Homo-oligomer: A and B are copies of this chain.
Amino acid sequence: MPTFGQWIHPVLIVLSIIAIFFALFNFGSLKKLLVGHPMRSRELQSSHTKLYWLIALPVLAADLYSSVAYGPEAGITELAPLGIDAKWFILPITGATVILLGMLITSYIMGVIAYPNGGGAYAIAKDNFKRPMMSLIAASALLVDYILTVAVSVSSGIQTMGSAYPALVPHETLLSILCVLIILFVNLRGVSESASIFAWPTFFFMACMILLIATGFGDEVRHGFVQPTTPPFGTVPQALTTMLLLKAFSSACSAVTGIETISNSVPIFREPQKRGAIKAYVVLGLITGVTLLGFSYHLYVQGISVNPNNTMLSQLTSLYFGHSIVYQIIMWSTFLVLILAANSTFTGFPQLAALVAADSFLPRALTFRGDRLGYSNGMIVLAALSTLLIEVFNAQTNALIPLYAIGVFVAFTVAQVGLTKRWLRVKGKNWTVKAAINSFGAVVTALVAVIFAVTKFTGGAWIVLIVLPLLILTAVTIRKHYNQIANELRIDLRTMRPGSHRVISIVLISGINRVVLNAISFAQSIDTDAIALYIGFSDESIERMEKKWEEWGTPCRLVTLKSEYRSVLYPLARFLQRLETWEGGKPDHIHVMIAQFIPKKWWHYALHNQTSLLIRAWLLRNKDVAITTLPYHLQD
């Protein structure tokens, strides 16, 4: 017998597809239950409250700070094949990561100064480059990264839970997908990203990490800074290559992703906004740096090894606290903050997608606000794509990280180059220093991006290097299409006005019954010359129809056609072709009317001939005819 997991998996995939269609096409009570009552457009303005910087800091920090849960681990994983002698390298690698973090924060503070209304790499690039190419590079890198953030954060959160409760391990993929769906529905209901309630889980997680690091030092003070489990320091394993070190560094750098959040959200700070945002950046950078260094140091001292079913954070915590309640609390807090990181992406991705779509580079549907004023379509796309990634990668975070870091650093680079250009153009106070900081930042982030692309190329980076250009190409094609359509539809109001047209009306009938009675009455009311068209599959059925029609008093002209191939499409198409030359030249419009059953219960649709749907779809696609559907609501 298949296990629960085997049953549930394909079923879940099918259910998600149905759910997405449902979310797109819904107008029922179930949607109201899940998503809530619709909100008025003007409610949009009233929802923003400004936050004090110390509260805004954790609200915006989940994405960056939660990365400490997987960054150092990702670095150590790369070095694992070299054995115990290579373990100490995590210390210089983390050091380099923290230096990079400091540099990025300095650069982003420049961003805050330049764009106090919230910048983001796309807006910065749009503002500073004439051609759209750079902003498209930034946008596609960021969009891909948002998708990866959801996949990585959620998988990592579930892996944390799996470490605490090993019974969950076989179901990690399933649980991750469920998490994404729950986050999706919460966001479809609408959550204000800036609600101060989101501050507390991140604060709490920061406290947990500080506690963990402090306990570690306490332990080392008592038992010595070199313990029996501590790997040797300074040894250089034979198999170590520069390539491997760079690989480990680029994996560890996944810890600095999410740094852009504050600069995107300056407007949510209380006045003085700029100063608040800068303070938040500095403090966040300090806390994150200390956490990364302290955490990595203890991992080294305790000689923690890679275990796919037990995260390093979990191993270290259980070393200090056993499987006590403290351990449980730290694990839950880690899970919560990782879910929050994924959740914040459900605001970032749809907003960016809407910005790009407003510039005609993505389908316009991404700019529509849903019932709860969020960009629902963007959220659904994000959930669908990240679910696909989780499914394909079986919720294994490490496999996703190489894909992740490249995009972030590509976007960083574009933003820094844009800022540098801005300083050179705008000048202003201390512009040379600012330009120097950003141009140096641009060089470093570009270098890091290249290192990632090269070292992780075979590990999956090639996917990103294919996806990004494809996305950009698609964006350019979409804009071209929209422009052409706009030209095609434009008319001159003074010269082109509606006129009276000749219309030929046809009612398709399949017999004589209450539905047909209704259809013919309608057709005759709008056109007294309407023609009834019957398509039979045999000579007998046609004769029977003609006889019945006479019995009925020939309410209008009846045309019968025989279909030798049991399809009504071919004879109908031939008939329409004939009409175009039939009586008095080509008519301006051909008007086809079709009756359709509307059953009371949805599953009754499966019991009724859906030929009318088929005919309608075919005619719409292939013929230039007006098609009227005459619904007949069944009583049962």
B493 to A551, Cβ gap below 8 A?
A: yes
Known: A40-B565, A459-B1, A493-B548. A521 touches B538 (CB 8 A): no
B491 to A617, Cβ gap below 8 A?
A: no
B625 to A627, Cβ gap below 8 A?
A: no
B365 to A609, Cβ gap below 8 A?
A: yes
User: A396 CB to closest chain B CB, in angstroms?
Assistant: 8
Q: Mark A1-15, 1 if CB is under 8 A from B, else 0.
A: 110001100100110
A631 to B625, Cβ gap below 8 A?
A: yes
Known: A1-B399, A485-B634. A552 touches B493 (CB 8 A): yes
Contact of A364 among B517, B552, B607 (CB under 8 A): B607
User: Is A616 at the interface (CB under 8 A from chain B)?
Assistant: yes
Report how far A489 CA is from B496 CA in the complex, Å: 46
- The residue among A588, A609, A636 with the most chain B CB atoms within 10 A of its own CB is A636
User: Is A54 at the interface (CB under 8 A from chain B)?
Assistant: no
User: Is A564 at the interface (CB under 8 A from chain B)?
Assistant: yes
A497 to B624, Cβ gap below 8 A?
A: no
Contact of A500 among B496, B524, B567, B604 (CB under 8 A): B524
User: Is A559 at the interface (CB under 8 A from chain B)?
Assistant: no
Report how far A555 CA is from B211 CA in the complex, Å: 75
Residue of B nearest to A502 (CB): B525
Report how far A169 CA is from B556 CA in the complex, Å: 67
User: A517 CB to closest chain B CB, in angstroms?
Assistant: 6
B514 to A488, Cβ gap below 8 A?
A: yes
User: Is A38 at the interface (CB under 8 A from chain B)?
Assistant: yes
A391 cross-chain contacts in B, Cβ below 8 A:
10
A392 cross-chain contacts in B, Cβ below 8 A:
2, 6-7, 10
A610 cross-chain contacts in B, Cβ below 8 A:
365
User: Is A41 at the interface (CB under 8 A from chain B)?
Assistant: yes
A524 cross-chain contacts in B, Cβ below 8 A:
498, 500-501
A6 cross-chain contacts in B, Cβ below 8 A:
392-394
Report how far A178 CA is from B610 CA in the complex, Å: 29
User: Is A522 at the interface (CB under 8 A from chain B)?
Assistant: yes
B41 to A538, Cβ gap below 8 A?
A: yes
B555 to A526, Cβ gap below 8 A?
A: no
User: A502 CB to closest chain B CB, in angstroms?
Assistant: 7
A48 cross-chain contacts in B, Cβ below 8 A:
none
A488 to B635, Cβ gap below 8 A?
A: yes
User: A341 CB to closest chain B CB, in angstroms?
Assistant: 23
Q: Which of A107-115, A305-313, A476-484 contacts B (4 or more CB under 8 A)?
A: A476-484
Residue of B nearest to A11 (CB): B392
User: Is A129 at the interface (CB under 8 A from chain B)?
Assistant: no
Known: A2-B393, A393-B2, A481-B604. A500 touches B521 (CB 8 A): yes
Q: Given A496-B517, A627-B628, output 6 extra A-B contacts at Cβ < 8 Å.
A: A2-B392, A13-B14, A38-B567, A493-B548, A502-B525, A616-B629
Which A residues fall within an 8 A CB radius of B?
Answer: 1-2, 6-7, 10, 13-14, 17, 25, 27, 38-42, 363-365, 368-369, 371, 388, 391-394, 399, 459-460, 478, 481-482, 484-485, 488-491, 493-494, 496-503, 505, 512-515, 517, 520-522, 524-527, 537-538, 548, 551-553, 555-556, 564-567, 569, 588-589, 591, 593, 596, 598, 604, 606-610, 614, 616-621, 623-631, 633-636
10 closest Cβ contacts across the A-B interface? A489-B513, A501-B525, A628-B628, A498-B520, A498-B521, A38-B565, A484-B636, A40-B564, A498-B555, A489-B514
